[in-house]
């Protein structure tokens, strides 16, 4: 076993290519890492239902981090911890989305709601994450300006054209720290790979923080290493050149 014991992989824009597929090369190197004793942990903004097919495809039976750390799973289907976003805040976020008439979505533990299909009784439901999407960055900036004045929110993105909101203190970094506590690892033994603002905290907190070649510039600036893009099997490159060589 090398110096790195846990590999935390974002999905969209990182492990997955632009067709939302795991390439044969990435899949093969993930298997090499697992066979070498490395714990491979999916760390994604997706909900559990959206992440599970990728985990199943890779044959992983290891911890999962979903909805940006809002849920931590000790293994698939075994929930370790869930942190909810207050329903009254979801109501305010929903109102803001309607005010600007833009696409939005929100996760509950069981489902995803959006502009086309919204939950009837917002207060009665349990919420994990809320998101806004627009290619009009002036609208996103106006929303950011507003919600930065609110308390109790963790604000990131998973692309330059969205905003993602979790409860304050919830991030992929805090979730990774909990996974390390569960497994008896130190954060210095973690490699975290990602491409968006929701990956920055984990990249900074880990022993090796990796930005994808297609990552947002802010992510690259915080990373220790920049690997190839998600179209160039950047995850496989990191496993080959760092995780299994360390």
Active site residues: 10
Cα–Cα distance between 183 and 225 in angstroms, integer?
A: 25
CA distances from 33 to 38, 141, 236 (A): 5, 40, 10
């Amino acid at each position: 076993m090398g110096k790195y014991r846990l590999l935390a992989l974002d999905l969209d824009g990182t492990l997955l290519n632009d067709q939302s597929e795991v390439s044969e090369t990435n899949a093969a190197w993930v298997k090499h890492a697992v066979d070498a004793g490395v714990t491979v942990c999916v760390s994604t903004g997706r909900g559990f239902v959206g992440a599970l097919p990728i985990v199943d495809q890779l044959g992983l039976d290891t911890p999962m981090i979903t909805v940006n750390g809002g849920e931590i799973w000790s293994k698939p289907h075994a929930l370790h911890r869930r942190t909810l976003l207050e329903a009254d805040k979801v109501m305010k976020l929903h109102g803001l989305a309607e005010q600007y008439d833009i696409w939005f979505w929100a996760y509950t533990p069981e489902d995803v709601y959006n502009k086309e299909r919204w939950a009837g009784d917002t207060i009665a439901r349990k919420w994990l994450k809320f998101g806004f999407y627009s290619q009009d960055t002036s609208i996103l900036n106006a929303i950011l300006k507003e919600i930065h004045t609110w308390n109790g929110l963790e604000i990131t993105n998973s692309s330059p054209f969205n905003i993602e909101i979790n409860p304050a203190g919830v991030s992929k970094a805090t979730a990774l720290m909990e996974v390390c506590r569960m497994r008896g690892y130190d954060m210095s033994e973690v490699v975290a790979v990602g491409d968006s603002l929701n990956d920055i905290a984990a990249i900074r907190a880990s022993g090796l923080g990796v930005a994808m070649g297609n990552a947002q510039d802010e992510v690259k600036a915080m990373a220790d290493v920049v690997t190839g893009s998600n179209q160039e099997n950047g995850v496989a490159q990191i496993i080959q050149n760092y995780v299994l060589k360390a």
